[in-house]
């Protein structure tokens, strides 16, 4: 077995991270060296943490070098645990405290307009992600993590799930492709993850494998909450199998990944999206047939907000309910344009008002003008109203003004 392990990141442009080299020795006790830009403020506390972790694993003799660029404690702990795992294989876990504000559950049908992808091995991008208020935050263990960093990213993502404030965003992790990705689940399921993204999904069987592993972990760790799934359709086969995937247990949405899909088709991705029209429609139809949400691919030009807006409007028109984003600046544009527009809100106001009037009068049937309105329509209108209120597009007391206007 190796005696020296190096984990983490350093170098120009690396922030809020550390690079750490651990050598387990036979004698001489624990020797540490710390190079840190925050040494004056946190030097002692960094070394104290490292000693505590080494003691936790029963390591008495080691040489440890920490090159720190302002890493928070949960990052340092993840880096050191990853190094110890490499050297000793000890599967004990050194867990940072779970923030009390991170223990929430999410509803099956909550809004998922935006979900922000964050590379699972880059702490600097994680720390402020929540303050930009995406609906969901994805810690990515798959494509955004280099193959050689996959193992240590698991520890970082696990610790982030516990110690990083998500500010109410749905807590998501993208695992690696099944079957390799199944092992990722061991690291994250016990830490209140709300939703798992399953990449390059091509069959209901893959989802079943994920569900089985999650069920085992829930029993083992005594977890009661739901863990939702969002398979990502990224191939021709996946598109054709999208209905069976959409109908699988715990699946609340399908996402489509167009970079891989167009590669699979042997074509190029364009802004107009003609090449993916069939796939997008197929995924939307599978989702609607299964009663779940359809989520569109990310838009990769982070500088062009106008093109993003047009993309969102096209996406919404096709029937999608949300879109991935790779930069916090995209969140606002995605929210604003997936949100109900004025016409939708006006229509919803009329329907909800008609429903309330019918209820007030004790009528069983809701009608607007000469048209009867079915309960699902009322429900959808109510959701539009709730959403408009929560996004500040409509005042909570809208009905008073609405009735005033009607009188006038």
Residue numbers at the binding site for another protein (CB under 8 A): 15-16, 37-45, 69-73, 124, 127-128, 131-132, 165, 327-329, 392
**β-strands 293-296, 18-24: how paired?**
unpaired
Min dist CB 255 to another protein, Å, is 22
Q: Are 373 and 366 in contact (CB under 8 A)?
A: yes
Residue with tokens 């206007």: 405
Measured in whole angstroms, how far is the alpha carbon of residue 349 from the centre of its chain?
Answer: 32
Provide the CB-side half-sphere exposure for 58 (13 A, CA). Answer: 6
Q: Which residue's CB is nearer to another protein, number 139 or number 182? A: 139
Token output for 232:
């990502």
Min dist CB 399 to another protein, Å, is 21
Q: Which residue's CB is nearer to another protein, number 239 or number 331? A: 331
Q: Percentages helix, strand, coil for the chain, rounded to the nearest 5? A: 50, 15, 35
Min dist CB 161 to another protein, Å, is 16
CA distance 4 to 174: 30
Min dist CB 45 to another protein, Å, is 6
CA distance 64 to 67: 10
Min dist CB 15 to another protein, Å, is 5
Q: What is the 3-state secondary structure (H, E, C) of 252-272?
A: CEEEECHHHHHHHHCCCCCCC
Token output for 111:
């809004």
Min dist CB 135 to another protein, Å, is 16
CA distance 315 to 256: 12
Going by C-alpha positions, the residue among 251, 260, 117 that lies closest to residue 195 is: 251
Q: Are 201 and 223 in contact (CB under 8 A)?
A: no
Alpha-helix runs per DSSP H in 116-197: 123-126, 150-163, 180-188
Token output for 331:
């969140």
Min dist CB 149 to another protein, Å, is 21
Computed from CA positions of residues 12, 176, 131, 93, in that sequence, does the dihedral angle turn out positive or negative? negative
Q: Which residue's CB is nearer to another protein, number 41 or number 313? A: 41
Min dist CB 136 to another protein, Å, is 17
Min dist CB 288 to another protein, Å, is 33
Q: Which residues contact 107 (CB under 8 A, 6 or more apart)?
A: none
Q: Which residue's CB is nearer to another protein, number 71 or number 378? A: 71
Q: Which residue's CB is nearer to another protein, number 223 or number 305? A: 305
Q: Which residue's CB is nearer to another protein, number 69 or number 315? A: 69
Q: Which residue's CB is nearer to another protein, number 292 or number 339? A: 339
Q: Which residue's CB is nearer to another protein, number 128 or number 271? A: 128
CA distance 231 to 189: 16
Q: Which residue's CB is nearer to another protein, number 71 or number 385? A: 71
Q: Which residue's CB is nearer to another protein, number 327 or number 383? A: 327
3-state secondary structure of 365: coil
Q: Which residue's CB is nearer to another protein, number 257 or number 328? A: 328
3-state secondary structure of 334: helix
CA distance 15 to 12: 9
Min dist CB 347 to another protein, Å, is 26
Min dist CB 16 to another protein, Å, is 5
Q: Are 73 and 163 in contact (CB under 8 A)?
A: yes
């Amino acid at each position: 077995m190796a005696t020296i392990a190096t984990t983490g990141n350093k170098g120009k442009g690396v922030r809020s991270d550390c690079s750490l080299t651990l050598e387990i020795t036979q004698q001489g006790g624990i020797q540490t060296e710390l190079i840190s830009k925050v040494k004056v403020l946190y030097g002692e506390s960094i070394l104290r943490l490292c000693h505590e972790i080494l003691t936790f694993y029963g390591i008495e003799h080691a040489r440890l070098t920490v090159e720190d660029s302002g890493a928070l404690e949960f990052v340092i702990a993840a880096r050191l645990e990853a190094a110890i795992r490499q050297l000793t294989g000890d599967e004990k876990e050194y867990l940072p405290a779970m923030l009390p504000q991170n223990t929430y559950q999410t509803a099956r049908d909550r809004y998922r307009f935006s979900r922000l992808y964050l590379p699972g091995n880059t702490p600097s991008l994680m720390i402020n992600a929540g303050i930009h208020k995406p609906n969901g935050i994805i810690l990515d263990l798959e494509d955004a993590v280099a193959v050689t960093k996959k193992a240590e990213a698991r520890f970082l993502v696990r610790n982030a799930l516990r110690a990083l404030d998500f500010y109410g965003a749905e807590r998501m992790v993208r695992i690696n492709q099944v079957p390799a990705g199944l092992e990722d689940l061991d690291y994250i399921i016990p830490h209140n993850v709300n939703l798992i993204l399953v990449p390059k999904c091509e069959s209901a069987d893959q989802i079943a494998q994920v569900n089985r592993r999650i069920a085992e972990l829930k029993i083992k760790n005594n977890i009661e909450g739901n863990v939702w799934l969002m398979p990502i359709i990224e191939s021709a086969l996946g598109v054709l199998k999208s209905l069976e995937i959409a109908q699988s247990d715990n699946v609340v949405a399908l996402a489509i990944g167009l970079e891989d899909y167009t590669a699979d088709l042997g074509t190029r991705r364009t802004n107009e999206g003609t090449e993916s029209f069939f796939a997008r429609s197929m995924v939307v139809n599978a989702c609607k047939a299964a009663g779940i949400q359809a989520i569109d691919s990310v838009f990769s030009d982070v500088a062009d907000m106008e093109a993003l807006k047009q993309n969102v409007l096209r996406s919404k028109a096709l029937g999608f309910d949300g879109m991935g984003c790779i930069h916090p600046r995209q969140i606002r544009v995605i929210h604003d344009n997936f949100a109900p527009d004025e016409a939708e809100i006006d229509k919803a106001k009329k329907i909800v008002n008609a429903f309330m009037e019918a209820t007030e009068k004790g009528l069983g049937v809701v009608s607007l003008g000469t048209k009867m309105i079915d309960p699902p329509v009322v429900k959808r209108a109510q959701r539009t109203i709730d959403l408009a209120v929560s996004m500040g597009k409509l005042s909570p007391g809208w009905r008073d003004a609405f009735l005033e206007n009607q009188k006038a």
